[in-house]
Structure 1
Amino acid sequence: MVNPDTVLYDSVTASRSGKDEEKPKFGIGQKVKLIKEIVNDGTYPHSPIGTLMMPQGAVGYIKSIGEFLQVIRVYEVHFLGVEEAPVEIVGCRENELEALEDYRDEVEEELEYMRKHREEHYKKD
């Protein structure tokens, strides 16, 4: 049974549901903290609507980035060691997360290293 006093986050009609920025705010593998608790809005079928899915302050890592309705960016975040949560992986919006570390694009760093190496190695005198 659903508690009628439970306030649910409606990602479709919420004030921040417009088209997200062109580039994601967070990157895959980045450590983040949840700044708002996440409750089941009906998208998780194994718990009643209104169930606490992840408490505020939980720390996790961005696992993947996707889109909902082609306009709402959703981060799949893997939260570790949160005993009171029924799941470890939760979909989050940008306004629900805070970065705990700067993002490093390791693939881009490796490509830049390889470019520099090639330039130095194949330099013609």
Structure 2
Amino acid sequence: MADVDILLHNSVMAKLSSKDEERAKFFLGQKVKLLEDVKNDGTYPYLPVGSVMIEKGSQGYIRSIGDFLQVIRVYEVHFLDSRAEVEIIGCREHELEALEPYRDLEAEEYEWMMNYSKQKSY
């Protein structure tokens, strides 16, 4: 018999983290800057816990966008700073600042396809 006082996590109805925008704030390939030091929380095995992996102000590019537990958006960022201990790391939206304007790549591709199909006669 189930205990009615136990609250279960409903991943289908879960909302995004309060620190994330409704839609992705950054796009693939966008240049970004890190707003705070990223320290090893123990998930990176080659550095001591608490050591700085990538320094505040480092610049990189968004490689992919994913979700952690379906509610926290994580951006995989490739940092090109030669002083960084780690080159690729997952970052949250509030840890990053865009260094170039946002582009809706899906809308751009759709517009290109529509224009291309008008030019072609089948």
Aligned pairs for 1:34-53 within 5 A = 34-53=34-53
For 2:97 and 2:104, locate their aligned partners in 1 and report how far apart those are by CA, in whole Å.
18
RMSD of the alignment, in Å? 2.2
Q: Which residue of 2 aligns with 1:97?
A: 96
How many aligned positions are there? 106
Q: Which residue of 2 aligns with 1:83?
A: 82
- Aligned to 1:109, the other structure's residue is in SS state helix
Matched-pair contact (CA < 8 Å) for 2:19–2:93? no
Matched-pair contact (CA < 8 Å) for 2:29–2:62? yes
Q: Which residue of 1 aligns with 2:69?
A: 69
Which blocks of at least 5 consecutive residues in structure 1 are unaligned?
1-16
Which blocks of at least 5 consecutive residues in structure 2 are unaligned?
1-16
1:31 aligns with 2:42: no
In structure 2, do the counterparts of structure 1 residues 55 and 96 end up closer, same or farther at CA, with 3 Å as the change threshold? same
For 1:36 and 1:43, locate their aligned partners in 2 and report how far apart those are by CA, in whole Å.
18
For 2:69 and 2:106, locate their aligned partners in 1 and report how far apart those are by CA, in whole Å.
28
User: After the TM superposition, which segments of 4 or more aligned residues of structure 1 sit over 2 Å from their partners?
Assistant: 17-22, 103-108, 116-122
For 1:50 and 1:63, locate their aligned partners in 2 and report how far apart those are by CA, in whole Å.
25
For 1:24 and 1:78, locate their aligned partners in 2 and report how far apart those are by CA, in whole Å.
17
Task: Report the TM-score, using the length of structure 2 for normalisation.
Answer: 0.75
Matched-pair contact (CA < 8 Å) for 2:27–2:104? yes
